Amino acid sequence: MDGGGGGGAEGELTAQETALYDRQIRVWGVDAQKRLSKAHVLVCGMNGTTTEFCKNIVLAGVGSLSLMDDHMVTEDDLNANFLIPPDESIYGGRSRAEVCCESMKDFNPMVRVSVEKGDPSLIDGEFLDKFDIVVVSGASLRTKLFINDNCRKRSKRIAFYAIDCKDSCGEIFVDLQKHSYVQKKPGGETGQQELTYPSLQEAISVHWNNLPRKTAKLYFAMRVLENYELSEGRSPGETTLSDIAAVLSRRKDMCDKMSLSESQIPTVLMERLLAAGKKEHPPVCAILGGILGQEVIKSISCKGDPIKNFFYFDAADGKGVMEDIPPPPSAN
Protein backbone atom coordinates (compact mmCIF):
# COMPACT_ATOMS: atom_id res chain seq x y z
CA MET A 1 0.00 0.00 0.00
CA ASP A 2 1.41 3.38 -0.92
CA GLY A 3 1.96 6.32 1.38
CA GLY A 4 3.34 4.29 4.28
CA GLY A 5 0.76 1.53 4.09
CA GLY A 6 1.40 -2.18 4.01
CA GLY A 7 5.17 -2.05 3.70
CA GLY A 8 5.43 -2.21 -0.09
CA ALA A 9 6.48 -5.29 -2.01
CA GLU A 10 9.82 -6.03 -0.39
CA GLY A 11 10.44 -9.60 0.79
CA GLU A 12 9.55 -12.77 -1.02
CA LEU A 13 6.53 -15.04 -0.75
CA THR A 14 7.26 -18.44 0.73
CA ALA A 15 6.92 -21.53 -1.42
CA GLN A 16 3.80 -22.42 0.57
CA GLU A 17 2.24 -18.99 -0.11
CA THR A 18 3.12 -19.16 -3.80
CA ALA A 19 1.47 -22.57 -4.10
CA LEU A 20 -1.62 -21.59 -2.09
CA TYR A 21 -2.22 -18.31 -3.90
CA ASP A 22 -1.14 -19.51 -7.37
CA ARG A 23 -4.47 -18.77 -9.09
CA GLN A 24 -4.86 -15.23 -7.80
CA ILE A 25 -1.19 -14.44 -8.44
CA ARG A 26 -1.95 -15.18 -12.08
CA VAL A 27 -4.78 -12.63 -11.91
CA TRP A 28 -3.16 -9.71 -10.09
CA GLY A 29 0.56 -10.59 -10.05
CA VAL A 30 3.15 -11.51 -7.45
CA ASP A 31 3.82 -7.89 -6.46
CA ALA A 32 0.16 -7.39 -5.48
CA GLN A 33 0.20 -10.64 -3.49
CA LYS A 34 3.31 -9.50 -1.60
CA ARG A 35 1.59 -6.22 -0.69
CA LEU A 36 -1.51 -8.10 0.41
CA SER A 37 0.51 -10.47 2.62
CA LYS A 38 1.97 -7.46 4.47
CA ALA A 39 -1.29 -5.57 4.99
CA HIS A 40 -2.99 -5.33 8.38
CA VAL A 41 -6.76 -4.89 8.53
CA LEU A 42 -8.99 -3.85 11.45
CA VAL A 43 -12.73 -4.55 11.33
CA CYS A 44 -14.95 -2.81 13.91
CA GLY A 45 -18.38 -4.44 14.07
CA MET A 46 -18.96 -8.12 13.25
CA ASN A 47 -22.20 -8.72 11.35
CA GLY A 48 -23.36 -10.53 8.23
CA THR A 49 -21.77 -7.99 5.91
CA THR A 50 -18.37 -7.74 7.55
CA THR A 51 -18.08 -11.52 7.93
CA GLU A 52 -18.49 -11.84 4.16
CA PHE A 53 -15.75 -9.24 3.72
CA CYS A 54 -13.46 -10.96 6.24
CA LYS A 55 -13.89 -14.31 4.51
CA ASN A 56 -12.87 -12.77 1.18
CA ILE A 57 -9.70 -11.07 2.35
CA VAL A 58 -8.60 -13.99 4.53
CA LEU A 59 -8.94 -16.37 1.59
CA ALA A 60 -7.03 -13.83 -0.55
CA GLY A 61 -4.12 -13.92 1.91
CA VAL A 62 -4.10 -10.63 3.81
CA GLY A 63 -1.26 -10.32 6.34
CA SER A 64 -3.41 -10.03 9.44
CA LEU A 65 -7.03 -9.40 10.41
CA SER A 66 -8.08 -7.93 13.75
CA LEU A 67 -11.72 -8.07 14.87
CA MET A 68 -13.26 -5.60 17.33
CA ASP A 69 -16.77 -6.22 18.67
CA ASP A 70 -17.32 -6.73 22.39
CA HIS A 71 -21.09 -7.25 22.07
CA MET A 72 -22.21 -10.63 23.39
CA VAL A 73 -23.61 -12.98 20.73
CA THR A 74 -27.41 -13.22 20.70
CA GLU A 75 -29.76 -15.45 18.74
CA ASP A 76 -30.47 -12.54 16.36
CA ASP A 77 -26.83 -12.67 15.21
CA LEU A 78 -27.41 -16.10 13.70
CA ASN A 79 -29.68 -14.69 10.97
CA ALA A 80 -26.89 -13.35 8.75
CA ASN A 81 -23.55 -14.07 10.46
CA PHE A 82 -22.44 -17.45 9.13
CA LEU A 83 -19.32 -17.46 11.34
CA ILE A 84 -21.41 -18.02 14.47
CA PRO A 85 -22.34 -21.69 14.97
CA PRO A 86 -26.07 -22.17 15.79
CA ASP A 87 -25.17 -23.76 19.10
CA GLU A 88 -25.61 -21.74 22.27
CA SER A 89 -23.14 -23.97 24.11
CA ILE A 90 -20.49 -22.59 21.73
CA TYR A 91 -21.46 -18.92 21.50
CA GLY A 92 -23.16 -18.38 24.88
CA GLY A 93 -21.50 -15.70 26.99
CA ARG A 94 -18.91 -14.90 24.32
CA SER A 95 -18.39 -11.78 22.22
CA ARG A 96 -19.07 -11.62 18.49
CA ALA A 97 -15.39 -10.93 17.84
CA GLU A 98 -14.25 -13.98 19.84
CA VAL A 99 -16.64 -16.41 18.15
CA CYS A 100 -16.00 -15.02 14.66
CA CYS A 101 -12.24 -15.07 15.21
CA GLU A 102 -12.32 -18.73 16.16
CA SER A 103 -14.32 -19.65 13.05
CA MET A 104 -12.32 -17.41 10.72
CA LYS A 105 -8.99 -19.05 11.57
CA ASP A 106 -10.14 -22.22 9.78
CA PHE A 107 -10.47 -20.41 6.43
CA ASN A 108 -6.74 -19.81 5.96
CA PRO A 109 -4.17 -20.92 8.59
CA MET A 110 -1.57 -18.65 6.97
CA VAL A 111 -3.44 -15.49 7.97
CA ARG A 112 -3.17 -14.14 11.52
CA VAL A 113 -6.66 -13.51 12.89
CA SER A 114 -7.02 -11.96 16.34
CA VAL A 115 -9.41 -10.11 18.64
CA GLU A 116 -8.96 -6.49 19.71
CA LYS A 117 -11.05 -5.69 22.78
CA GLY A 118 -12.39 -2.18 23.21
CA ASP A 119 -14.94 0.37 22.16
CA PRO A 120 -14.50 1.70 18.58
CA SER A 121 -15.79 5.11 19.70
CA LEU A 122 -12.75 5.42 22.00
CA ILE A 123 -10.03 4.29 19.56
CA ASP A 124 -6.98 6.53 19.69
CA GLY A 125 -4.76 7.39 16.77
CA GLU A 126 -1.71 5.56 18.10
CA PHE A 127 -3.70 2.32 18.17
CA LEU A 128 -4.63 2.82 14.50
CA ASP A 129 -0.96 3.02 13.49
CA LYS A 130 -0.86 -0.79 13.57
CA PHE A 131 -3.23 -0.99 10.61
CA ASP A 132 -3.33 -0.13 6.92
CA ILE A 133 -7.08 -0.64 6.45
CA VAL A 134 -9.91 0.18 8.88
CA VAL A 135 -13.45 -1.04 8.23
CA VAL A 136 -16.35 0.18 10.40
CA SER A 137 -19.87 -1.26 10.40
CA GLY A 138 -22.96 -0.90 12.56
CA ALA A 139 -21.54 2.20 14.26
CA SER A 140 -23.13 5.57 14.90
CA LEU A 141 -22.34 8.47 12.60
CA ARG A 142 -20.40 10.08 15.45
CA THR A 143 -18.16 6.99 15.79
CA LYS A 144 -17.58 6.74 12.03
CA LEU A 145 -16.60 10.41 11.82
CA PHE A 146 -14.32 10.04 14.85
CA ILE A 147 -12.44 7.03 13.45
CA ASN A 148 -12.21 8.53 9.95
CA ASP A 149 -10.80 11.75 11.40
CA ASN A 150 -8.22 9.80 13.45
CA CYS A 151 -7.17 7.81 10.36
CA ARG A 152 -6.55 11.08 8.53
CA LYS A 153 -4.42 12.53 11.34
CA ARG A 154 -1.82 9.76 11.29
CA SER A 155 1.55 10.22 9.60
CA LYS A 156 0.97 7.16 7.41
CA ARG A 157 -2.01 6.71 5.11
CA ILE A 158 -4.74 4.53 6.61
CA ALA A 159 -7.59 3.64 4.26
CA PHE A 160 -11.03 3.99 5.85
CA TYR A 161 -14.22 2.17 4.86
CA ALA A 162 -17.71 2.32 6.37
CA ILE A 163 -20.19 -0.36 5.33
CA ASP A 164 -23.79 -0.95 6.39
CA CYS A 165 -26.59 -3.25 5.28
CA LYS A 166 -30.20 -2.30 6.00
CA ASP A 167 -32.04 -5.50 5.07
CA SER A 168 -32.17 -5.27 1.25
CA CYS A 169 -30.25 -1.96 0.95
CA GLY A 170 -26.58 -1.26 1.46
CA GLU A 171 -24.05 1.59 1.56
CA ILE A 172 -20.25 1.60 1.37
CA PHE A 173 -18.18 4.74 1.97
CA VAL A 174 -14.52 4.89 0.93
CA ASP A 175 -11.78 7.32 2.00
CA LEU A 176 -8.33 6.52 0.58
CA GLN A 177 -7.10 10.10 1.17
CA LYS A 178 -4.50 10.42 -1.64
CA HIS A 179 -4.35 7.22 -3.66
CA SER A 180 -2.00 6.37 -6.53
CA TYR A 181 -2.72 3.31 -8.62
CA VAL A 182 -2.10 1.65 -11.96
CA GLN A 183 -5.01 1.94 -14.38
CA LYS A 184 -5.46 -0.29 -17.39
CA LYS A 185 -6.23 1.70 -20.52
CA PRO A 186 -7.84 0.61 -23.80
CA GLY A 187 -5.40 -1.44 -25.85
CA GLY A 188 -3.78 -3.03 -22.81
CA GLU A 189 -1.61 -0.04 -21.90
CA THR A 190 -1.23 1.02 -18.28
CA GLY A 191 -0.90 4.43 -16.69
CA GLN A 192 -0.42 5.91 -13.24
CA GLN A 193 -3.45 7.67 -11.78
CA GLU A 194 -3.94 9.65 -8.58
CA LEU A 195 -7.18 10.35 -6.74
CA THR A 196 -7.87 12.66 -3.81
CA TYR A 197 -10.75 11.67 -1.54
CA PRO A 198 -12.88 13.82 0.78
CA SER A 199 -13.37 12.77 4.39
CA LEU A 200 -16.71 11.35 5.49
CA GLN A 201 -17.53 14.68 7.14
CA GLU A 202 -16.87 16.51 3.88
CA ALA A 203 -18.78 13.97 1.81
CA ILE A 204 -21.95 14.30 3.87
CA SER A 205 -21.71 18.08 4.22
CA VAL A 206 -22.10 18.95 0.54
CA HIS A 207 -25.25 20.94 -0.26
CA TRP A 208 -27.77 18.58 -1.86
CA ASN A 209 -28.80 21.14 -4.44
CA ASN A 210 -25.26 21.01 -5.85
CA LEU A 211 -25.48 17.27 -6.57
CA PRO A 212 -26.63 15.80 -9.91
CA ARG A 213 -30.34 15.02 -10.14
CA LYS A 214 -29.52 11.35 -10.75
CA THR A 215 -27.71 10.98 -7.40
CA ALA A 216 -28.81 7.73 -5.74
CA LYS A 217 -31.88 8.21 -3.57
CA LEU A 218 -30.23 5.98 -0.96
CA TYR A 219 -27.52 8.63 -0.47
CA PHE A 220 -30.13 11.15 0.70
CA ALA A 221 -32.22 8.59 2.63
CA MET A 222 -29.19 7.39 4.62
CA ARG A 223 -28.31 10.99 5.50
CA VAL A 224 -31.84 11.62 6.81
CA LEU A 225 -31.76 8.43 8.91
CA GLU A 226 -28.33 9.04 10.41
CA ASN A 227 -29.20 12.71 11.11
CA TYR A 228 -32.32 11.60 12.97
CA GLU A 229 -30.42 8.91 14.93
CA LEU A 230 -27.71 11.39 15.86
CA SER A 231 -30.13 14.06 17.12
CA GLU A 232 -32.23 11.53 19.04
CA GLY A 233 -29.25 9.69 20.54
CA ARG A 234 -30.29 6.43 18.89
CA SER A 235 -27.93 3.59 18.01
CA PRO A 236 -28.08 2.38 14.40
CA GLY A 237 -31.10 0.13 13.89
CA GLU A 238 -33.00 1.39 16.93
CA THR A 239 -35.25 3.64 14.86
CA THR A 240 -38.33 1.73 13.71
CA LEU A 241 -41.51 2.21 11.67
CA SER A 242 -43.18 3.69 14.73
CA ASP A 243 -40.86 6.70 14.22
CA ILE A 244 -41.86 7.26 10.60
CA ALA A 245 -43.76 10.53 11.25
CA ALA A 246 -40.78 12.09 13.02
CA VAL A 247 -38.34 10.81 10.39
CA LEU A 248 -40.48 12.22 7.55
CA SER A 249 -40.61 15.53 9.39
CA ARG A 250 -36.79 15.45 9.53
CA ARG A 251 -36.74 14.65 5.81
CA LYS A 252 -38.87 17.74 5.11
CA ASP A 253 -36.63 19.97 7.24
CA MET A 254 -33.47 18.74 5.54
CA CYS A 255 -34.95 18.99 2.03
CA ASP A 256 -36.17 22.53 2.70
CA LYS A 257 -32.74 23.52 3.99
CA MET A 258 -30.95 21.85 1.06
CA SER A 259 -33.43 23.05 -1.66
CA LEU A 260 -34.20 19.46 -2.66
CA SER A 261 -37.59 18.04 -3.59
CA GLU A 262 -38.85 15.50 -1.07
CA SER A 263 -39.67 13.24 -4.01
CA GLN A 264 -35.92 12.53 -4.25
CA ILE A 265 -36.30 10.61 -0.96
CA PRO A 266 -39.39 8.44 -1.45
CA THR A 267 -41.47 7.70 1.63
CA VAL A 268 -41.52 4.01 0.70
CA LEU A 269 -37.69 3.97 0.80
CA MET A 270 -37.61 5.57 4.25
CA GLU A 271 -40.21 3.00 5.41
CA ARG A 272 -38.03 0.16 4.14
CA LEU A 273 -34.98 1.48 5.99
CA LEU A 274 -36.93 1.86 9.24
CA ALA A 275 -38.59 -1.55 8.90
CA ALA A 276 -35.14 -3.12 8.47
CA GLY A 277 -34.01 -2.17 11.96
CA LYS A 278 -30.78 -4.13 12.52
CA LYS A 279 -31.80 -6.91 10.11
CA GLU A 280 -29.49 -7.83 7.24
CA HIS A 281 -30.50 -9.79 4.14
CA PRO A 282 -27.79 -12.48 3.65
CA PRO A 283 -27.67 -12.27 -0.19
CA VAL A 284 -27.15 -8.49 0.09
CA CYS A 285 -24.46 -9.08 2.73
CA ALA A 286 -22.66 -11.34 0.26
CA ILE A 287 -22.81 -8.68 -2.48
CA LEU A 288 -21.62 -5.85 -0.23
CA GLY A 289 -18.91 -7.98 1.39
CA GLY A 290 -17.73 -9.08 -2.05
CA ILE A 291 -17.55 -5.51 -3.34
CA LEU A 292 -15.70 -4.33 -0.24
CA GLY A 293 -13.22 -7.22 -0.41
CA GLN A 294 -12.50 -6.35 -4.01
CA GLU A 295 -12.05 -2.65 -3.15
CA VAL A 296 -9.67 -3.33 -0.26
CA ILE A 297 -7.55 -5.60 -2.46
CA LYS A 298 -7.44 -2.83 -5.11
CA SER A 299 -6.37 -0.33 -2.47
CA ILE A 300 -3.59 -2.54 -1.10
CA SER A 301 -2.31 -3.68 -4.50
CA CYS A 302 -2.63 -0.20 -6.06
CA LYS A 303 -4.16 -1.81 -9.15
CA GLY A 304 -7.53 -1.03 -10.71
CA ASP A 305 -10.00 1.84 -10.47
CA PRO A 306 -11.28 2.11 -6.87
CA ILE A 307 -14.73 3.29 -5.83
CA LYS A 308 -14.85 7.03 -5.26
CA ASN A 309 -16.46 7.45 -2.86
CA PHE A 310 -19.89 5.86 -2.20
CA PHE A 311 -21.41 2.58 -3.40
CA TYR A 312 -25.10 1.73 -3.08
CA PHE A 313 -26.98 -1.49 -3.63
CA ASP A 314 -30.74 -1.95 -3.55
CA ALA A 315 -32.22 -5.42 -4.04
CA ALA A 316 -35.49 -3.77 -5.15
CA ASP A 317 -33.95 -3.08 -8.55
CA GLY A 318 -30.84 -5.26 -8.28
CA LYS A 319 -28.55 -2.37 -9.18
CA GLY A 320 -25.24 -1.32 -7.72
CA VAL A 321 -24.45 2.38 -8.11
CA MET A 322 -21.26 4.35 -7.49
CA GLU A 323 -21.54 8.00 -6.46
CA ASP A 324 -18.62 10.41 -6.50
CA ILE A 325 -19.74 12.94 -3.88
CA PRO A 326 -17.32 15.90 -3.87
CA PRO A 327 -16.43 17.89 -0.79
CA PRO A 328 -18.12 21.27 -0.28
CA PRO A 329 -16.29 24.12 -2.10
CA SER A 330 -14.89 25.45 1.20
CA ALA A 331 -13.20 22.05 1.86
CA ASN A 332 -11.18 22.09 -1.36
Q: Which residues pair with 180 in a beta bridge?
A: 194
C-alpha 73/C-alpha 77 separation (Å) is 6
Domain boundaries, the chain: 17-203+278-323, 205-276
Homologous superfamily of 17-203+278-323: NAD(P)-binding Rossmann-like Domain (3.40.50.720)
- Between helix 282-301 and helix 30-37 the angle, nearest 10°, is 110
- Between helix 217-232 and helix 267-276 the angle, nearest 10°, is 50
C-alpha 122/C-alpha 128 separation (Å) is 11
- Let me know: does 316 contact 284? Beta carbons within 8 Å: no
- pTM of the full predicted structure? 0.93
Q: Cis omega (within 30 of 0) on the bond before 148?
A: no
pLDDT of the chain, 332 residues: tens digit per residue: 333 333 334 468 889 889 888 888 888 889 989 999 999 999 999 999 999 999 999 999 999 999 999 999 998 889 899 999 888 888 889 999 999 999 999 999 999 999 999 999 999 889 999 999 999 999 999 999 999 999 999 999 999 999 999 999 999 999 999 999 998 888 778 889 999 999 999 999 999 999 998 999 999 999 999 999 999 999 999 999 999 999 999 999 999 999 999 999 999 999 999 999 999 999 999 999 999 999 999 999 999 999 999 999 999 999 999 999 998 886 55
Query: What is the distance of C-alpha 306 from the center of its chain?
Result: 13
